[in-house]
Amino acid sequence: MIAPIRAPAAVVVDIEGTVGSIRFVKDVLFPFARSRLRPFVLANRAQPDVARQLEAVRAETGIADIDGQIDQLERWSDADQKVTPLKALQGQIWAGGYASGALVAHLYDDAIEALKRWAAAGIPVHVYSSGSIAAQKLYFAYTSVGDLTPGLAGYFDTTTGPKQEAASYRRIASAIGRPAADLLFLSDVAAELEAAVAAGFQAVQVRREPPVAGLFEPSISTFDELPI
């Protein structure tokens, strides 16, 4: 148990390595989307949501042909790049997997209980992840204990800004409508926590699965250790 921290007006949580397993994301979600990326894009290229992401690829890379754009998306996927059009398309592919029952999101038991406990205590919980907002909503809607989205107050993704830049957290504080000092950010990645602190947030590292992405203090291994 860490020393008591100032009671937050709202909590902002990362997903991967924080509320859910990195292995689920790396070994289940990413391969599921990667194997379906090319056929999904080719089959749905005329759909507005897919066409918009392909235009974003063209704007960022200058690649105009569909095969080249898909090649680029696959390269980004293989390199685990946090690129908005890739994340958006992954989310669309995962939607089908969740709806069919092929995917069930992993959340740690203590994270599930903490989310419920904070909601019951009137502490709003927001999510900030590199996955798209649509993908985040799917993750919390299709869990082993059912739909947890009613207990969440909001979502932020890479459209807010990179997770390792303080400006992103200032935007989050502004969107939530509370001073940064009243907010608590929980993540497994030290550089993200340092950026949040630079923006004025309280921050705690969640160290669940080695290797840990840098060291930060204070830290916990489960949400049961968090004194709020």
The pLDDT value given to residue 183: 98
What's the pLDDT at 227?
Answer: 83
Q: What angle do CA 152, 117, 151 make, to 5 degrees?
A: 15
Question: Are the CB atoms for 143 and 58 separated by under 8 Å?
Answer: no
Give the CA diameter of the chain: 56
Q: What structural domains and CATH numbers belong to the chain?
A: 10-20+105-225 (3.40.50.1000), 26-100 (1.10.720.60)
What does the block give as tokens for 9? 């007006």
Residue 3 has pLDDT above 90, yes or no: no
- Mean pLDDT across 4-12: 89
Give the C-alpha separation, 227 to 210, whole Å.
23
Q: Is there a contact between 10 and 183 (Cβ–Cβ < 8 Å)?
A: yes
CA 221 to CA 217: how far, in whole Å? 12
What is the structure's pLDDT at 209?
82
Q: Pinpoint the alpha helices (H) of the chain.
A: 22-24, 30-44, 48-61, 66-78, 84-100, 109-120, 133-141, 166-176, 190-198
A 10 A CB-CB count for 202 gives 21
pLDDT single digits (tens) 122-144: 999 999 998 889 889 999 999 99
> Which pLDDT belongs to residue 1?
61
* Interval 33-92: pLDDT, tens: 999 999 999 999 999 999 999 999 999 999 999 999 999 999 999 999 989 899 899 989
Question: Does residue 110 carry a pLDDT above 90?
Answer: yes
Q: Is the pLDDT of residue 25 over 70?
A: yes
Give residue-wise pLDDT tens across range 182-227.
Answer: 999 999 999 999 999 999 999 999 999 887 889 999 999 999 999 8
